[in-house]
Structure formats: structure tokens, C-alpha cells
Amino acid sequence: MKRYLEQCEPVDLGFSIYKWFPVDIEKLRHWYDNLEKNYSSWKFVYGDNLHVWETIPDDPTGMSGHIIPPNTGYYTLCWNNDDEGPKPFEQGCAKPEYRDNDNDMLNPRKIFDGYALEIVQSLPVRSKKWLVTDQPPGMRLVTHQDAPDKIRVHIPIYTNDDSNWIIDGVEQHMEPGYAYLANTTLPHSIENKGKTNRVHLYGKVWTEDINDNTLKYQI
């Protein structure tokens, strides 16, 4: 069983999903559209890159239960070298030669620029491991928990009303135009039951950095 399906002790932050601050959705969509236009060869398309996995992270008939359609895409925006091209989104399952030498730094790649990088660099907390995920209808991650030292920031770019989180047993929707903190130390799952793709910019932040002052942050 993959390590991120292991049970962890949840951290009580006073929220499961917190609407953190507004973003300029048109500027963010413009950045993403340019990413697709200029760096499509850097997109990790799941079905085209099965060779990188040591443990396949999609096994609908096996232990994980995740459903990752072959056309699911990821842009890995942070990496600890200047190599070009697609990089695996889940390094814990990748073969050693496809993993990053993680040093807890932001390490933005060439494709991480413009408005998206401005948002991230202005955050009042440390962050790392930023990606863009492009999840088609039918994508599902089963209930799991993340390690308690970090939680997630999610910034929807494109979504639909039937693409939701189920976190701590409650279904919740993230609307575009805002950045959200998701307490991923709680049991959570994600499912796109809609008819359009779910595209999010997301990364990790240190749990210990989250406090009343950082929650009041406005970009």
C-alpha cells in the first residue's frame, strides 16, 4: 500500500477547507492558457508516462482504488534542477531515477512564471511542490490523509459544480477566484463527477506556519 494511504494523526487547525484570499481569475487563466500553449511538451500525461512508476499510482482493481484516467495531466512547476520536460507528480511512487532531490525549497522551473509565481512568492508562509493538475471527468482519489507536517493550498483555475472535495466526511466545492487552504491531514478524497475538466494550481505549505495572522492574509 502506498505511503500516503497510511493513517496519520490529524492536526486540528479549526477548519477543513478555508477560503483564504481572492485571486484575479482572468489573469490566472491567461497564465494557464499560455502554459498550455508554450509548454505542452512539459505536461505529464498519465497514460503516456507509465514507464516512470515503481508502484503504479492508479490501480482501480487493487489496493489503492484511485481512478486516474489516461488523459489526466500534470505540470510539475517545481524541481531541484533545470531539466526540461514532464516530471512525475507523485514521486513516492516513481522509480529512483525519476525522483527529485527535495531540499524544502520552492525551486520554480522555467514554466513557473508570471502571475502564478507572483501569487506563490507573495504568500506569508513557506511553500513547495507546486503543480497544475488537469483532471478529466471520472477522476477520483479515494479517501486518504497527508502527513501532518504540511497541508495544501489549492487555487481553482477551471472547474465545475460537480467536482468536489469530500473532507472529514463533508462534501465541499472550491469556486474559481479564490485560494483555499485544505487541511489534508484530515481524511479526504476528490472526485470529478462533472462533464468538464478540473484544473487547479496547488502546492504544499508548512502546517506550523498556519496561524491567525496568516489566515488573515490578503494578496
- pLDDT value of position 93: 82
Question: For the residues 167-195, what does the mean pLDDT come to?
Answer: 96
Q: Are 38 and 30 in contact (CB under 8 A)?
A: no
Nearest to 196 by CA among 169, 171, 176, 216: 176
CA-based torsion, 198, 201, 206, 207: positive or negative:
negative
Q: What angle do CA 83, 89, 90 make, to 5 degrees?
A: 120
The pLDDT assigned to 7 comes to 75
CA distances from 60 to 30, 73, 203 (A): 35, 18, 26
Residue 29, φ and ψ in degrees, nearest 5: -65, -35
Return the bridge partners of 169, or none.
none
Find residue 44's DSSP bridge partners: 74
Nearest to 180 by CA among 170, 193, 165, 169: 165
Cα 213–Cα 165–Cα 62 angle in degrees, nearest 5: 130
Per-residue pLDDT tens over the stretch 90-119: 888 889 999 998 899 999 999 999 999 999
84 Cβ partners below 8 Å, 6+ apart? 42, 110
Query: Rounded CA gap, 43 and 215, in Å?
Result: 32
Is residue 60 scored above 70 in pLDDT?
no
116-152 residue pLDDT tens: 999 999 999 999 999 999 999 999 998 989 999 999 9
Q: What is the pLDDT of residue 58?
A: 54
Interatomic CA distance for residues 113 and 77, integer angstroms: 9
pLDDT of 55 higher than 90:
no
Average pLDDT, the chain: 92
pLDDT at 25: 98
Query: What pLDDT does 219 receive?
Result: 81
pLDDT at residue 62 is higher than 60: no
Calculate mean pLDDT across residues 75-87: 96
pLDDT category of residue 156 using cuts at 50, 70 and 90: very high
Q: In sequence order, what are the beta bridge partners of 152?
A: 182, 204
How many CB atoms are closer than 10 A to CB 17?
21
pLDDT of 78 above 60? yes
Residues 8, 18: Cα–Cα separation, whole Å: 21
Contact criterion met (CB below 8 Å) for 137 and 196: yes
pLDDT the model gives residue 52: 92
